[in-house]
Structure 1
């Protein structure tokens, strides 16, 4: 582009024009819509053990036989195996970070295909992390980790009595029991406790894992793949795919724990959230929290979120002290992605919308997170020790009648002393039971009703309820689960 600049000529009244070239503009680097960064988050442990408790007794009997005992060499080999499985020959846990031009940041690690960070701005433009999690990999290994941001599989939620019948063959399978006598979130070593193999395709991260036949009791070898992608409109897209070598059940999900006021905001800000859930029915449960196979209408109940509801008002209507229920999403006949839920925090203006192609969604308000208001009655150790010592003296005096009884008394006395020490330690441990804080990122203390989870899924225990959507897939079929978490800002005042 050029422009003409008039210049007078000497000795003449005429005006001529000189063409002047415009200076080139300096090269300014263009900010990408989405940027993906790869680094390391830690290393998988090289030593640990897989105890026999990781399998149900019925499954162990099936594998080892009633009389066969594991060899010593096998035990040593098991002792050298990590308690956290790995899909790769490399023990590095990789971390992937997306940054968008709209100031959103998302981080995912390969351990458990876990989302560790979601940072989005509020209506004033101030970004904050709204996802619960931990700062280090070792903290994700701890038993108290409530599946923060992890990929759940092979089956999300509960399977009652850890048994299932795969139709149409009618075969019964015994799964590992990791929550009392029941099977929960894939067992002791579910998909949340393996280090997934990963690679990058454009701005999409694809993770894969092979679940061997009869792992945690499940039939069939399953090849699983989970992809993560963040778009410039502040949407996190998750797509899960599975194939199997024989009929089995698949019900994958992800369990991010949110607080739109910030993961550190606690229950005071949590109850100010306004929820909308696109569901006309929910799966009814009994007094123990297990589904009965019945779908009830939400109308006229505390589960009616078809219009926006303030959580502070609704929590008071739940006798169990919080929500932990599966909603039956209202869907079109051939609809792929369906709107499931919308959450608004009016003070910060942050909005979250959840979309999925699954028939259900678990709504959980962190009822089992540590409760600082829990009161535990302390045991009076002195009184109990006096009573035990008195009983011990009586037993010893009664045992001095014969030599044989004296030897038996001596042995029982030694074992009793050891038992008293163990019981004393146990009682001392019980004194410390009660409120034990769960520390998260930046030293945040996560408390009861301080976080919520919206987890798209199939219905709980669907394999044992004929009128629920079947979770069984067969060789040649492909399981596909799509989830979208969309983040936005409410402009203006919410009424």
Structure 2
């Protein structure tokens, strides 16, 4: 496995803190709350109840200078007014389902279609557009906030009364854990993840995230058709611009028009089939490195896939944090998941759950720094 030697983390034994606060209102007057998790190493995460959203993740560079490394909005109201999935919890089903339709036990279900004919990220009123309920906030060796949401039978077309829960945790070493859990009273499908877009250079960095280096430990990926639905094939990454088994710049291959998959996605917007598969404990799914600042982000997951999206549809129409106009490539998403359209692809890992077999996905955003200005090649 590819490793980076000498990563610096916090000293063990320090407590982490959780602080609850008001965070404005939605258009209908519903109050939104925020919980800020922080540790002694200067890592902090602010989570909104609206969309169970990771509004910010702050981490220091190699010189100790903190910066928010996620795209998003400064004001809660903007997440409702200008939705773009920044940092939100997506569900019931992250990514795309072809035609917004799937069959379960002989019955066909028609879902909300919000991506042309397809269903994307749970539909027009997915989990990202709900105000979650806080059920627990705690400080300690690991600070945490637990949020819950009830999704009734038929919600966006999905079967089963579903209770969804998201737990954010922060320890003193820089691990921001996100645990997704769900129970249903009938067979259904679930695929939840976080949709943070990262720029490790920090909010407003003019070069965006294209100078970052990325590693994904996956030998295959799932090619897509012109509507970004997987064809069902597991294609080898070897010899292609989709080979990130060794770290290389994000921008390398991003505009390679000789690859039809890059043309279809307007860049990278694909699922990688992780070599580790689905696991009981979170395993490494991606490593993102910003050599100039020394910031490193590891993404770990129990799920079998990860969607790498290079911010291709950011078109300058959204004004985000610190009055930054977001353009193509200003941030990238690394979304651990079950494969897109898995309910319609029996060969893909299943997204089905039963009343007696609840859904569980544990992912981690792990932040660290390289202690010196190493060349990205030294990340091998």
TM-score, normalised to structure 1, is: 0.69
Bigger-Rg structure (1/2): 1
Q: Does 1:103 align with 2:46?
A: no
* 1:10-54 Cα distance to aligned partner (Å, 9 max, x none): xxxxxxxxxxxxxxxxxxxxx95312111000123327xxxxxxx
Match of 1:459 in 2: 339
Match of 2:20 in 1: 38
Match of 2:187 in 1: 247
> Which of 192, 196, 200 is the equivalent residue of 2:128?
192
Determine the C-alpha separation between the residues in 2 that align with 1:145 and 1:261.
23
Determine the C-alpha separation between the residues in 1 that align with 2:44 and 2:251.
29
SS at match of 1:156: coil
1:170 Cα offset (Å):
1.4
Determine the C-alpha separation between the residues in 2 that align with 1:332 and 1:293.
17
Q: How does 1:7-156 map to 2 (within 5 A)?
A: 33-46=15-28, 91-142=30-81, 144-156=82-94
Determine the C-alpha separation between the residues in 2 that align with 1:341 and 1:494.
19
Match of 1:162 in 2: 100
Match of 2:117 in 1: 181
SS at match of 1:261: coil
Determine the C-alpha separation between the residues in 1 that align with 2:319 and 2:110.
35
Aligned length: 353
Task: Give the conservation status (yes or no) of the 8 Å contact 2:144–2:168.
Answer: yes
Q: Does 1:172 align with 2:108?
A: yes
1:314 Cα offset (Å):
2.4
Do the aligned partners of residues 309 and 331 (structure 1) sit closer, same or farther apart at CA in structure 2, a change above 3 Å counting?
same
SS at match of 1:148: coil
Task: Give the conservation status (yes or no) of the 8 Å contact 1:176–1:217.
Answer: yes
> Which of 222, 229, 236 is the equivalent residue of 2:176?
236
* 1:334-388 Cα distance to aligned partner (Å, 9 max, x none): 65211100011000000000000001000001100115xxxxxxxxxxxxxxxxx
Q: How does 1:325-340 map to 2 (within 5 A)?
A: 325-331=270-276, 335-340=280-285
Do the aligned partners of residues 490 and 164 (structure 1) sit closer, same or farther apart at CA in structure 2, a change above 3 Å counting?
same
More divergent stretch after superposition (238-247 vs 91-100): 91-100
SS at match of 2:252: helix
Do the aligned partners of residues 177 and 235 (structure 1) sit closer, same or farther apart at CA in structure 2, a change above 3 Å counting?
same
Determine the C-alpha separation between the residues in 1 that align with 2:344 and 2:18.
42
* 1:451-471 Cα distance to aligned partner (Å, 9 max, x none): 100000000000001100111
Do the aligned partners of residues 333 and 110 (structure 1) sit closer, same or farther apart at CA in structure 2, a change above 3 Å counting?
closer
Determine the C-alpha separation between the residues in 2 that align with 1:481 and 1:269.
30
Match of 2:306 in 1: 361
What is the RMSD computed on CA atoms of the aligned residues? 1.6
TM-score, normalised to structure 2, is: 0.90
Determine the C-alpha separation between the residues in 2 that align with 1:345 and 1:145.
27
Do the aligned partners of residues 457 and 225 (structure 1) sit closer, same or farther apart at CA in structure 2, a change above 3 Å counting?
same
SS at match of 1:216: helix
Q: How does 1:236-315 map to 2 (within 5 A)?
A: 236-266=176-206, 268-315=207-254
More divergent stretch after superposition (117-126 vs 193-202): 193-202
SS at match of 1:188: coil
1:242 Cα offset (Å):
0.6
Determine the C-alpha separation between the residues in 1 that align with 2:279 and 2:23.
41
Determine the C-alpha separation between the residues in 1 that align with 2:106 and 2:233.
22
Task: Give the conservation status (yes or no) of the 8 Å contact 1:263–1:451.
Answer: no
Bigger RCO (CA 8 Å, 6+ sep) = 2
Determine the C-alpha separation between the residues in 2 that align with 1:347 and 1:40.
36
Do the aligned partners of residues 359 and 334 (structure 1) sit closer, same or farther apart at CA in structure 2, a change above 3 Å counting?
closer
Do the aligned partners of residues 442 and 339 (structure 1) sit closer, same or farther apart at CA in structure 2, a change above 3 Å counting?
same
- What 5-or-longer segments of structure 1 have no aligned partner? 1-30, 48-90, 372-436
Determine the C-alpha separation between the residues in 2 that align with 1:440 and 1:483.
26
Task: Give the conservation status (yes or no) of the 8 Å contact 2:277–2:305.
Answer: no
Determine the C-alpha separation between the residues in 2 that align with 1:103 and 1:445.
27
